[in-house]
Structures are given as structure tokens and as C-alpha cells.
Chain A
Amino acid sequence: MAQVILKNIKKVYPHHESKKKKKGAEDKQLSLQVTDEGVVAVQAFDLDIQDKEFIVLVGPSGCGKSTTLRMVAGLEDISGGDLYIDGQRVNDVAPKDRDIAMVFQNYALYPHMSVRENMAFPLKLRKVAKDEINRRVEQAAEILGITQYLDRKPKALSGGQRQRVAIGRAIVREPKVLLMDEPLSNLDAKLRNQMRAELIKLRQRINTTFIYVTHDQTEAMTLGDRIVIMKDGVIQQIGTPQQVFDHPANLFVAGFIGMPQMNLFDAQLVCEDGQYAVKLDRVQVVLSDAKQENLSRKQVKPGPIILGVRPEHLQLTGEAEQMLHGTVEVSEMMGSAVHVHLHAYNRDTILIVPTDKPENPVSFPYGSKVCFTFNGSTAHLFDPDTQKNLEL
């Protein structure tokens, strides 16, 4: 239960260390900044995490999210900047003295100890009285539904059960900050959904500050009070799930958040009689009042832009001259909707067609022509050079 402040945090791996990491890094095809000091894994990381807030760090592999979490945990040295937990600067404080707990992706349970011993271990090290240890372990086991496994060894448990034990080991300590490093990544899809829901419940039962790392945007959107989206060691955007979904700060965020990802088109921003509109092919769509206001306030000049429209915001229309059009490449029946992959304006485009409307077709043969349009309130406009959202 504490505030965590990261002020201009930086992590640089000196060249001899980064060589060691090269093998892994090559797989991830990183484009991290390399300086004389070494490889910059995280830079200019500023974040104020409020007490009892659930913060999710999200981004692709190698973006520096785990490194940031490990710096908060004290498992990585901080190359620059200041880290405060509960008002105390902890840059040089050992992990055990930071009053934090961490859940690892691969559980990191002690294989020779029973579930009970695993959960009691951090309390035993802190010389907590036996009765108190038992009380806390049993309480945590009950919250997590693992009471019946307390005397088993970790190898006798399934992946989901092991992860519960790992969470149990972290919560018995009642830490100020609970860190989670991709805790659901080793679970299968069904179990991951189930555990995600349980984490939301758990969060309501234990009032603590959470910092959660994931590469899965669904986890980020569903769990986080705020999301921090990272790329190449740099924060791209911080905001609530709705904010980052509705107002992505740049093209990267626009593409990263949302499933299927946002469709992008090379278009023109035009301004006629003080009214902004987007022109794509022969179609011109006038933007909503809110967007007009934002663009006017920022005095955005007409010219080429990248237009982003989410697949669910593209509307299927009848065949007409004044509509956008594309050729069907693949169609995927998802039950409640059909995901139609089109080739339109030299871009791959996805259109989500709900099946609950009788007027919508459910079959889209390969090579057929599909016409669609979009609404002025759902268009996202990006600068083609800076890739930034023109409205923000």
C-alpha cells in the first residue's frame, strides 16, 4: 500500500553485458538506442503510481517493460533517475528491504518445498511467529482456492495451481507493492482467461499497489487502472484503457491496442469553409464536432495524413460510386461477426461485419468487391512524418 514514483529512470547495459544478451536480443530484432555507454534498454521513464493503483506496463518483446519492473524490484541496477516507494528513495536499497513481492512468469517456486512451505518461506525469513505464519498462509490459500493442495509439492500441481501458489507466496507478506512479470503467459488460453478474472477479484480483496507487466493487450485493457505502453525503452502513452483506445497518442499505440488492429490508410486532410474533412479516394468524410474543435485548436494544416479506423468502426455499405471499396482476401466466421480481410488502397484492411443484422451477408467469396465507409467521429488522424495523433 504505497505510492511508487519513477523519475527519469534509465537503464543502460554496458557493452560487455549487452553482448551476453545479444542472442536473445537478436530474436526480438530490437531497435534499442546504442550509445558509448552501452545499449539503452529504458530511458526517460517518468511515472507516478498512486497508492492501490493497478498499473500495467505493456509493449512488444524487448520494449523494456520487464527491465523497468525488475528495477522497481531491485533485481536490476538503475543506471539513472530516482525510484521512490512510499516516499523513500530506494535506488540502492536491497530487494528484501523494499517491502515488495513479485510473481514470476515461470512461477519460481522452490521445488523441494511443499505449497505451505513455499508460501511460508518469506514470513519465516522475517521471523514471523509460527501461529501468525499459519494464519496468513491459510488465509491466502483460501483466497486463492488452494487450501487442499497445501501439503503437495509444486511438481504435483498444474500450471494454473502453481501460479496461484506463486501469487499466494507474494500476498502472504502483505507487501506495499505487488509486482507481476507476465504471470499468465505460461498458461493456456482458457486458463489465462479464468486467471485474469481471478486476478480482478483478488485485486478487490487485497488492497495494494500493483505493477503488472504483460505483452497481451487484452490483459492490459481488462486489468489496469492505467496502462503504460512502451516501445524500444520509451513510454509511448500513459492513460486509462478507454483513453488509450479512444485517443491513441501515435501510430504505434493505435496499432498495438485493439484487436484486430486499427486499419490505416494514406489519406488527405482537407479544410473547406473552416470545416475539416478526410478525403480518401473519391470519398470525403466530414469530421465530428469534437474533432473539428481539436484540430482547430491545434491549428492543423490540411495535407497528407494517415487515417486510422478501427475494424469495428468500418461500416459495410451497398455498392455505390461514393463508397470506399476493397477486394476480399480472407473471411473468418467468428460466430457473432465475420472478420473480412480486404485489400484496399494498397493496405491490408479488416472489416468486422456483425452477423446479428439480417441485412448483412455472412459469406464473402474470395476476390469479391466489398464497399464500406466510416463515420467522422471514429476517424483517427496521424501525422505521416512524426506518426503522432494530430488531435493531441
Chain B
Amino acid sequence: MRRNKQLSNADVQTRRFGLSMISPTIVVLLIMTAYPLLFTLFYSFTDYNLLRNLRQPAEFIALKNYTDLLTDPYFQQSIWNTVKFTILAVIFEMLIGFAVALFVNSLRRGQKAMRTLLLLPYLLPTVTVALSWRMMLSPNYGIVNQVLQTLGLPVFNWFSDIKTAFGMLVLIDVWQSAPFVFLLLYAALQSVPQSQYEAARIDGASRIKILFYVTIPNIKNSLALCALLRTIDSFRLFDKVNLLTGGGPANSTSTITQYLYNYGISSLDFGFGSAGAIVMTILVLILSSVYIKRAIQ
């Protein structure tokens, strides 16, 4: 008994020590994550607006912000734009990233050089990427239009034309983020044991069959993780839209975050913006729940 008691005392001490060690992290997390989230949740039920008299406290208006938001056709279009953008960007990024990873992994020489070159777009800051593409696609002095003109092909005002603006945003995002997919899947491909490929070759599998029976099953977790990370990231798309189109033309490129920026942050209507942020958080949580559930298991 005495021995058990001594052991349990030691256990308590160990636990205390552990708690004291992780407490700084918990404090930082509470300040940086929990507090802003609760703050946002609270203000989403109020009419907190900095354009009004600041001495007048924000009033509780229950779900009015949410009903306004969900019935606003601009918000509905933003949701649709975001979903459309996410689906297209993730599909193209995954396909291109995976194809390039397979190609580089199959190279006998120059893998390192290819890896570095292919990663460059991902290493650039988004602002640089956006501005570079804006210059290249500029209707006045952009190289793309000049080339098209020389070839006698029609030219476009790429970011102001409703037919092309959305497609250009997808293209730029794919250009910048496919290397991320490439890197993650390339690393996963490197970990597939060579002997499994060799066994499959001897067993009589063609290249396509090896891809479906050996490669993909071996890296399926990385594929799932990669698709999830890209989905969440694409869902939160803001910087490229804000820098290149501002949500236009005719709201055709407005994403949820751009909508929140326009109607919540720019107009200082923080109550309404907070409701939008909460809706977005819920959508992202639903998207990532599959992965979180798997991680917990």
C-alpha cells in the first residue's frame, strides 16, 4: 500500500511537471486562438459597427447578421465561386502535382535540380506572384497579349473580362500551388519500397497496373492529406483575388473571404463580418472533419 501511495505521488509530480511544461503553449494558444474565436462569435450576434457613434455600445441582435448574410445574393454567389474555385484548383493541382512527382521520381539523373526548379513558384510570396502575372497579362504592355497579337489571335483584358477573370485566378493558383502537391507526393513516392515495384514487375503488372496497385495504395494517405490541405487553403483564397480582381468583374471572382473583406472589414461593420467569419470557420471545419476524424482514430 505504502509503495503504491509513493508511486502515485510520483505520478502526480510527473503530471504537474508535464502541465507546467506545456502551460506556456496553452496560454499562447488561448490568447492567439481561443480568445479571437470567442470574440468573433460574440460580436457576430451584435451590430458592432465602427462607423457608428463609438460611445453607443453594440447591441445584441441575435441571428440577424446570419440571416442577412445567408439571404444576400452576393454572399451566395461568393460561396458558389469559392466552391467552384476550390474544386477546379484542387483537381488541377493534384493531377499536375502528382504527374510531375511521378515524372521526377522516374528520372535517373537530375532529380535534385528538377526538384529545386519546380519548387520556385511555391517559394515566391503571393504578392510577387500576383504582380508578376498582372504584368504578364496586362492588356497594354503584357507579354501574353503581345504574343497573341503577333500570332493574330484575339486578345483579352484578362482580369476585367467576365469570361476570363475566374479562369486566370484558377490558373495562377494552380501554377503557384501545384509545386506544393509535387513536393509532398514526391517525398511520399520516395518512401515506396523499390522491391514492391520489382515484385509487381515480376508478377506481370503493366505500368498502369503498377500505378494503381502499388504506387497509389502506398501513398494514399499523403494524397488524402495533400488534397485536404489544398482544399482548406483554396477555400480561404483571398490574396490573389484581392490583388488581381478585387472580386470583380460583376462579382464573378468574389470568394467568401473577399466578400467578408468588402462588406465586413472595409465598411467597418465588424458584427456582420464576424458572422461571415463564423460561417466560414464552420465550412472549413466540416471540410477538415474527415481528416480530423481519421487523425483521432
A, B assembled together: yes
User: Which residues of A are in contact with B by a Cβ distance under 8 Å?
Assistant: 16-17, 73-75, 94-96, 100-102, 104-112, 121-122, 125-126, 169, 173
Of B11-19, B33-41, B210-218, the stretch lying at the interface with chain A is: B210-218
Structural contact, B202 and A73, CB atoms closer than 8 A: yes
Can you list 6 residue pairs at the A/B interface with Cβ under 8 Å? A108-B193, A108-B199, A110-B199, A110-B214, A111-B218, A169-B199
Assembly CA distance A105 to B109 (angstroms): 27
Assembly CA distance A358 to B269 (angstroms): 104
Assembly CA distance A95 to B217 (angstroms): 23
**Inside 8 A of B200's CB, which chain A residues have their CB?**
110, 121
Assembly CA distance A169 to B202 (angstroms): 11
Assembly CA distance A73 to B197 (angstroms): 13
Structural contact, B214 and A95, CB atoms closer than 8 A: no
Q: Which residues of B99-153 are within 8 A (CB) of A?
A: 108-109
Scan B194-229; emit 1 where CB is below 8 A from any A CB, else 0: 011011111111000100011001101000000000
| A248 CB to nearest chain B CB (Å) | 34
Q: With A104-B195, A108-B196, A108-B198 in contact, is A96–B217 under 8 Å at CB?
A: no
What does DSSP make chain B's interface, helix, strand, loop or mixed?
helix
Chain A residue nearest to B214 (CB atoms) is A110
Q: With A16-B109, A110-B213, A112-B217 in contact, is A96–B201 under 8 Å at CB?
A: yes
| B159 CB to nearest chain A CB (Å) | 45
Contact for B204 among A73, A96, A102, A108, CB less than 8 A: A96
Chain B residue nearest to A94 (CB atoms) is B201
Structural contact, A125 and B205, CB atoms closer than 8 A: yes
Assembly CA distance A108 to B200 (angstroms): 9
Structural contact, A110 and B109, CB atoms closer than 8 A: no
Chain A residue nearest to B195 (CB atoms) is A108
Chain A residue nearest to B108 (CB atoms) is A17
Structural contact, A106 and B202, CB atoms closer than 8 A: no
User: Which residues of B are in contact with A by a Cβ distance under 8 Å?
Assistant: 108-109, 193, 195-196, 198-205, 209, 213-214, 217-218, 220
Contact for A122 among B109, B195, B203, CB less than 8 A: B203
Assembly CA distance A240 to B204 (angstroms): 34
Structural contact, A100 and B203, CB atoms closer than 8 A: no
**Inside 8 A of A74's CB, which chain B residues have their CB?**
201-202
Structural contact, B195 and A121, CB atoms closer than 8 A: no
| A273 CB to nearest chain B CB (Å) | 63
Q: With A111-B218, A112-B218, A125-B209 in contact, is A95–B193 under 8 Å at CB?
A: no
**Inside 8 A of A173's CB, which chain B residues have their CB?**
203
Assembly CA distance A109 to B213 (angstroms): 12
Structural contact, B214 and A125, CB atoms closer than 8 A: no
| A345 CB to nearest chain B CB (Å) | 47
Assembly CA distance A112 to B213 (angstroms): 9
Q: With A110-B214, A111-B218, A112-B218 in contact, is A96–B202 under 8 Å at CB?
A: yes
| A294 CB to nearest chain B CB (Å) | 45
| A115 CB to nearest chain B CB (Å) | 15
**Inside 8 A of A122's CB, which chain B residues have their CB?**
202-204
Structural contact, B196 and A100, CB atoms closer than 8 A: no
Chain B residue nearest to A17 (CB atoms) is B108
| B253 CB to nearest chain A CB (Å) | 41
**Inside 8 A of B199's CB, which chain A residues have their CB?**
102, 104, 108-110, 169
Structural contact, B201 and A125, CB atoms closer than 8 A: no
Q: With A16-B109, A112-B218 in contact, is A75–B198 under 8 Å at CB?
A: yes
Structural contact, A106 and B193, CB atoms closer than 8 A: yes
Assembly CA distance A257 to B77 (angstroms): 80
**Inside 8 A of B109's CB, which chain A residues have their CB?**
16
Assembly CA distance A109 to B220 (angstroms): 17
Structural contact, B202 and A95, CB atoms closer than 8 A: yes
Assembly CA distance A101 to B213 (angstroms): 18
Of B109, B195, B214, B218, chain A has the most CB atoms within 10 Å of the CB of B195
**Inside 8 A of A107's CB, which chain B residues have their CB?**
195
Structural contact, B218 and A125, CB atoms closer than 8 A: no
Assembly CA distance A104 to B200 (angstroms): 12
Structural contact, B201 and A75, CB atoms closer than 8 A: yes
Assembly CA distance A100 to B204 (angstroms): 10
Contact for B202 among A102, A105, A126, CB less than 8 A: A102
Contact for A100 among B202, B218, B220, CB less than 8 A: B202
| A376 CB to nearest chain B CB (Å) | 50
Which 8 residue pairs spanning A and B have beta carbons closest together?
A108-B195, A122-B203, A96-B204, A112-B217, A108-B199, A125-B204, A104-B195, A95-B202
Assembly CA distance A14 to B40 (angstroms): 65
Structural contact, A110 and B217, CB atoms closer than 8 A: yes
Q: With A16-B109, A104-B195 in contact, is A121–B213 under 8 Å at CB?
A: yes
| A132 CB to nearest chain B CB (Å) | 16
**Inside 8 A of B195's CB, which chain A residues have their CB?**
104-108
Assembly CA distance A94 to B202 (angstroms): 8
| B67 CB to nearest chain A CB (Å) | 48
Assembly CA distance A169 to B204 (angstroms): 12
Chain A residue nearest to B209 (CB atoms) is A125
Assembly CA distance A8 to B217 (angstroms): 41
**Inside 8 A of A102's CB, which chain B residues have their CB?**
198-199, 202
Assembly CA distance A125 to B212 (angstroms): 13
| A98 CB to nearest chain B CB (Å) | 8
Assembly CA distance A104 to B194 (angstroms): 11
| A177 CB to nearest chain B CB (Å) | 11
Chain A residue nearest to B220 (CB atoms) is A112
Structural contact, A96 and B193, CB atoms closer than 8 A: no
Assembly CA distance A248 to B118 (angstroms): 57
**Inside 8 A of A169's CB, which chain B residues have their CB?**
199, 203
Of A16, A105, A111, A121, chain B has the most CB atoms within 10 Å of the CB of A121
**Inside 8 A of B108's CB, which chain A residues have their CB?**
17
| B191 CB to nearest chain A CB (Å) | 12
**Inside 8 A of A105's CB, which chain B residues have their CB?**
195
Chain B residue nearest to A106 (CB atoms) is B195
| B102 CB to nearest chain A CB (Å) | 18
Structural contact, A126 and B204, CB atoms closer than 8 A: yes
